Amino acid sequence: ETGVTQTPRHLVMGMTNKKSLKCEQHLGHNAMYWYKQSAKKPLELMFVYSLEERVENNSVPSRFSPECPNSSHLFLHLHTLQPEDSALYLCASSQDLGVRTQYFGPGTRLTVL
């Protein structure tokens, strides 16, 4: 257990659905991250939040919409996804944005039909 939880663990959705991924950290950290891991590709950073403010957006399409209502929770809202968006979505947190160890959640395996 890393102190970072993600729900759901598996999600299958159609291209017209709207769904949300949830991440919660119990570590008292101030920075949270969303990553995407596609088959046979390296981990890719999607978004970075620090103290509930988005500080990085790595050219992610608008069909992915992050939300950070407080420093313990991070959401990724999904709408009108494409089959190529099928991937493992990982959440992580760190004490702050400095040179810090990142603690990862177990991930959500997303399949878009």
- Residue 80 CB, shortest distance to another protein, in Å, is 25
SS3 label, residue 111:
strand
> CB atoms < 10 A from the CB of 6, how many?
20
Q: Residue from 19, 56, 60, 73 that binds another protein (CB under 8 A)?
A: 56
CA distances from 39 to 12, 50, 53, 87, 89 (A): 16, 28, 30, 7, 12
66 binds another protein (CB under 8 A): no
Binders of another protein: how many residues, by CB under 8 A?
29
CA distances from 48 to 12, 17, 75, 80 (A): 25, 25, 12, 22
Which residue stretch of 13-21, 44-52, 62-70, 74-82 sits at the interface with another protein (rule: CB under 8 A)?
Answer: 44-52
33 binds another protein (CB under 8 A): yes
Q: Residue from 16, 39, 41, 62 that binds another protein (CB under 8 A)?
A: 41
Length of the chain, please? 113
SS3 label, residue 101:
coil
Record the tokens describing residue 109, joined without a space.
């395996």
- Of residues 68-87, those binding another protein (CB under 8 A): none
109 binds another protein (CB under 8 A): yes
Which chain residues interact with another protein by CB under 8 A?
Answer: 2, 31, 33, 37, 41-45, 48, 50, 55-56, 58, 88, 90, 92, 94, 97-104, 106-107, 109
